[in-house]
Structures are given as structure tokens and as C-alpha cells.
Chains A and B, each alone.
Chain A
Amino acid sequence: MAARERNPLRQQQAAPPSAPGPVHSRVALRVNGRSHVLDLDNRVTLLDALRERLDLTGSKKGCDHGQCGACTVLVDGRRANSCLLLAVTLDDSEIVTVEGLAAPDGALSPLQQAFLDHDAFQCGYCTPGQLCSAVGVLREAAAGHPSHVTGADAPADTARPVVLSAEEIAERLSGNLCRCGAYNGIAEAVAACAAAGTPDRTPPPTPDVIA
């Protein structure tokens, strides 16, 4: 086993799919517009890869079991709990973390600015997850996705945006806990962005490659 671990890539490439594989893998991740190639223990979650290997510590480890939402990032444009995703399964995926929401010059995204304007956090620990989750909420509503509180008589036309009432925002953000109880400010910030129809994040920077 030790020999395999020292040469994980060679072992994996040489092995047919049915042969015992190594417990490490080489994984290509695109994070906030930059490409990274990492040799990872297969057990490493996306959250740990971001924090421990890429020094992107914005995404937080709260419960580490998909219950609190502090680790929420965008994977191929959709919000997901990074603590429950194994990095090895995400080869070639496009990841956006809270660090990727602002412009390269540091200008905040409209959603980040709204969080400041509406006093949407106290300690800030849940905020990166709230922001990434809210990006997903805005996109899902714009795409016409219903929620548990959307009326059953709503038109099943996926092109028609859903109006984000306070009730809709609370339901759609229920996977993000805030122990400070800043929910009112968070909901107001999301509602302000939804009403303004502002873009949820700045475009990713020009791609470059970091091996």
C-alpha cells in the first residue's frame, strides 16, 4: 500500500478500472477562474482542499455534516455543501467560493454590498456560506424553480422567475444556519438584490493556470 501511495498517478493510470486502486488521486479543480492540479488523499473533501491546500479559508467548517451550510460554495454554478463533496469526484469541475464573488480589484458584488447595507451578519462565520447560498437562491428563482412554499398553482413554466417573498427567502435559505440570528438582515439583503435584479457576482477573472 505504501508503494502505491508514493506513486498514485502512475498506479491509477496503469490500473484497469476493476483493479485495486490507490487511495490517492490527482485532481484538477478550477476555483474562482484558476486551474489547480492537486494530489489528494481520496478522503479529502472539497472544503478541506479549499481551506488546507488552496488557502481559501473563506468557506467555513461548521458542522462538517451538511447541516449548517457554512461551507456552501458554487459547483458548476449551483450551490452545494463542500463538506459533503469528495474532491476526487469533482475533477474538471468549476468551483466558485466566497473569495470569487468580488471583482479582481476587490469591488464587492451587489450581494456582498447588500449584506453590508442591511446589517446581515454579526460574527460573520456563516456569512461566506450565506452569500454563496444566496447566489444560488437568486439564480434558482430567476430560472423559475419552485420551492416548498411556492403555491402548487404557480405556472410550471421554468422560464418564469419566482418572486422572492420573505417566506420564499426563508425557505430557500433554510440550509444555512446563523447562530447570531442575523436572519432578518440576511433576508432583507437577498430581497433587495432580487428586487433590483442585480447580477449575483462579478464575472470570473481571465483564466490562468497554476499547476
Chain B
Amino acid sequence: MKPFAYVRATSLQEAAAAYASHPGSRYIGGGTNLVDLMKHDVETPDTLIDLTRLPLHDIRELPTGGLRVEAGVSNTDLAVHPLVRTRYPALSQALLAGASGQLRNVATTGGNLLQRTRCPYFQDVSKPCNKREPGTGCAARDGVHRDHAVLGHSEHCIATHPSDMAVALAALDAEIELYDGEHGTRRVAAAGFHRLPGEHPERDTVLRPGEIVTAVLLPPPAPGAVSLYRKARDRASYAFALASVAAVLALHDGRVRHVALAFGGLAHRPWRATTAEERLTGAVPTDEAVREAVDAELAAARPLPDNAFKVALARNLARDAVATLVRSAPGAPPARPQP
């Protein structure tokens, strides 16, 4: 690991000022991914700016009925919060489906959003990687890419974003609040926070240099909406998603009034399934209608030689997720009597 200086910030202004005077620095929250990448020499900051002592540890209900989750809230505290469990079950379930108990205790909300891909070539400095070192090529495309993207990838990068939480936030229409010393505060949609790789896979997000994630804002749940998170992985616990889906559904008179679907494990960012959502909105959510909508979404998939299984996996997860929500949503057609 490269030697680095350490700055403990006590205010956002101080943190931003420290970054401005050290462009080679990195902010650190829980550090569960950053410290690991520093051990691998993938990250080589000359200064670490510690954000964990900033007063950003609250979860607050907003007058609108939404929730404001500050960036320093741990993944554990967010997952177990009563309002998150009752109003945004997809978010609680996504967090609990990720990492281990030890990691969730330390990892923060802001850091979860900013974690890097687990592509093994990105984490191995002896291999070419356009994300780590632009212009060097992609070792994954002709290498082991079973875990890699099937949607939205480019010739430069086929990595996936590893976060479960971010997938739930995309489906829940959350916003990310950002601060920078020069421009102050702005908000971006969670579904648009992460980027597709295009020609610049080194940029994971729309974050500007030095900008700090300060909070996640959850809108009030749509009336009557239910949500869940489903994840398929190689182990039953403590593994990244091969494919996952966050689903939100509200019905009215047996028809879909609101639906949001986001896939994880398939792309360089959480993949909001807008094609499927458009087809389902206003429709009676029969198995046939859901299958047709999900298939239309996944028609855009361009699987690599070793990961075509992900398309079928995602299709099955999404169909099962929506069918489960249809059964539990208020306003669902009456269930057939039990035999």
C-alpha cells in the first residue's frame, strides 16, 4: 500500500477544501471496499479524507412522508430501521442480501453507492483494464466473464456494478444528494447516478471530482405500493448477485397503477427496466403480460459467450417478483378460494 496522509474532516466545507488542495485524495467512509482496493494498489491516494466524523448519521422522516438517509448511516442501521422495513421493504431486503454482518456494520450508505466493480481484472493491477487504466484494454472480454454484463456494456468495459442497495434505490425513485465546495448541493435521480461505460468506463457515476454524497432521499411510497428484492447468486449467502431485481407494484381495480423494476448484476449500473414498466402500466398483470413485458426489456441483452444464462435468470427473477407482488398488493383480483 502506498503511504498516505490522513485528514479527519469535521465539516463538509473542511472536507471539500481538503480535497480541493489535494486532487490525489480520496474520501473514506467505512472503507470496506476502498481499503481493500488500496491493499491491491488499485487505489493509490496520497491523502485520505475521513468523512466518518461528519454529522451524517441520521435517518429522518420528511414532512412529505419520505425519508432522508444521511450518507454516513451504516448498511445495518438502514436495513433494520422500522420505517425502511415497513415502507421500503425492497431496500431493507437488498441491504440484507449483500455482504456479511461484519461488513454491513461498517459500510456506509454513501460508500455503498461508490463501491467499485468486483471484476477480477479491475482488481488485478497486472492485467489490462480500461476502468482502472483507460486505454489499456479489457482483459475480461476474452477472459473469465461469467459474472459480467449482458446489458449496456461497451467494447471498452463489460463490468457490472456490485451494489444491491443501489438497485433498490433505482426502483424506489430515490434521489442522491451531493455536495461540493464550489457549487453547493444538488440532487440526481438514483437511477441516473451510475453511468453506462461507453468510452469512459473509468467514470462509474456522474459524481464530479471532489463531490461528496451527503444523503439518499426516498420519496413517500406510491399509495398502495408493495416492493421486494430478489437475488440469485452462487452461494446462499455472502456473494454478489449473478442477477437480482427490485420490484415495486401498486394496483388499482386489478390493473397496474404503478410499477418499477430494476435489475442488478446485469449492467454497469442498476438497470431500470423502463420498457417493461411502460408495457405493464395500465395492464392486467397476468403471467402472460408480465412475461411479454420482461422479454421486451431483455431483448436488448447482448450476452457474452459465458454469461447468456444471466438473461434467463433475470427473466425468471422478474416474473417471480412481479407475480409475488401481484398476490400481496392491495387492489389485487380476489385470490381463488383455497381447496
Contact = CB atoms under 8 A, between A and B. Distances in A.
B259 interface: no
B125 interface: no
Nearest to B76: A145
Contacts of A148: 93, 96-97, 237
Given A18-B18, A21-B6, A148-B96, A156 B82 contact: yes
Interface in A6-21: 17-21
A174 B238 contact: yes
Contacts of A85: 31, 35, 106
Interface stretch (A37-45, A51-59, A105-113, A199-207): A37-45
A174 B76 contact: no
Contacts of B22: 18, 20
B105 A136 contact: yes
| Interface of A: prevailing SS | loop
Nearest to B235: A174
Given A21-B5, A80-B106, A89 B238 contact: no
A149 to B, nearest CB: 8
Given A89-B31, A146-B96, A152-B93, A23 B52 contact: no
Interface string A161-194: 0000000001111111000000000000000000
Interface in B64-97: 76, 79-80, 82, 85-86, 89, 92-93, 96-97
Contacts of A22: 5
Interface in B8-26: 8-9, 14, 17-18, 20-22
A66 B36 contact: yes
Interface size class of chain B, counting residues whose CB lies under 8 Å from the partner chain: 35 or more
Contacts of B237: 148, 170-171, 174
Contact of A89 (B1, B52, B89, B102): B52
A41 B3 contact: yes
Contact of A43 (B4, B9, B85, B235): B4
Interface size class of chain A, counting residues whose CB lies under 8 Å from the partner chain: 35 or more
Given A43-B1, A136-B102, A25 B86 contact: no
A174 B103 CA distance: 11
A20 B5 contact: yes
Contacts of A156: 82, 85-86
Contacts of B4: 23, 42-43
A144 B7 contact: no
B32 interface: yes
A91 B10 CA distance: 14
Contacts of B76: 78, 140, 145
Contacts of A84: 31-32, 35-36, 103, 106
A81 B103 contact: yes
Contacts of B43: none
Contacts of A172: 101
Contacts of A64: 39
Interface string B195-209: 000000000000000
Contacts of B228: 152
A81 B17 CA distance: 31
Given A19-B21, A175-B102, A66 B32 contact: yes
11 contacts: A19-B21, A43-B38, A65-B39, A81-B106, A86-B6, A86-B31, A86-B35, A89-B6, A137-B101, A145-B79, A175-B99
